């Protein structure tokens, strides 16, 4: 057995909790049992973070200030809105979803976004303290994420999209 620094000196199976960093011993199981357990955990995570505060936001605006959340772009990432369903039809890849309200999304733009209008950065990447959405992998599996991207467009305002969670990097 190879020696790896930081690992316990034991032939028993063990795992490290990603949240706390603590090690624990794991009962022996087959790969299929392990995979089933991981899939169940992911399904439960999605159920827990599926508490969706997001709802369709309607406005008649056509021009937005550079740091103002664009309602149409926001609605594209809110499940069961006409914009989401329309956007989904035109895409081959599964869509990521926001689970935060319009007001919360605007506050994230205010907190993490650009402080003044400029032409050199059209996107800002950020990591929030709480979950903002569900990121979708290529197979359509949803993973809760605290990471997001704020995108800016001239006269079209800003919008937020969920990004791949840390644990999947």
Average pLDDT (7-21) is 66
Question: Is the pLDDT confidence value at 163 over 90?
Answer: yes
pLDDT 10s digits, 98-135 = 988 888 999 999 999 877 666 567 888 999 998 999 99
CA angle in degrees (0–180, nearest 5) for 96-90-133: 10
Confidence of residue 9 (pLDDT cuts 50, 70, 90): low
Instruction: Say how many residues make up the chain.
Output: 169
Q: Please, are residues 158 and 113 in contact by the beta-carbon 8 Å criterion?
A: yes
Q: Please, are residues 59 and 105 in contact by the beta-carbon 8 Å criterion?
A: no
Q: Please tell me whether the overall predicted TM-score, pTM, comes out greater than 0.85 for this model.
A: no
CA angle in degrees (0–180, nearest 5) for 134-135-138: 140
- Sequence-separated (6 or more) residues with CB below 8 Å from residue 156: 64, 70, 73
State both tokens at 112.
């993490």
């Amino acid at each position: 057995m190879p020696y790896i620094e930081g690992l316990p000196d034991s032939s028993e199976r063990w795992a490290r909790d990603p949240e706390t960093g603590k090690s624990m011993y794991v009962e022996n199981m087959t790969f299929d049992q392990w995979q089933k357990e991981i899939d169940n955990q992911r399904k439960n995570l999605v159920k827990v973070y599926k508490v969706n505060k997001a709802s369709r936001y309607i406005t008649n605006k056509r021009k937005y200030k550079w740091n103002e959340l664009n309602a149409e772009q926001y609605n594209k990432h809110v499940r069961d809105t006409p914009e989401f369903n329309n956007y989904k039809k035109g895409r081959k890849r599964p869509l990521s979803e926001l689970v935060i309200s319009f007001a919360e999304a605007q506050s994230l733009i205010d907190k993490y976004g650009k402080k003044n209008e400029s032409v050199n950065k059209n996107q800002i990447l950020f990591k929030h303290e709480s979950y903002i959405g569900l990121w979708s992998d290529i197979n359509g599996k949803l993973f809760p994420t605290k990471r997001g991207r704020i995108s800016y467009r001239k006269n079209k305002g800003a919008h937020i999209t969920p990004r791949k969670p840390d644990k999947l990097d």
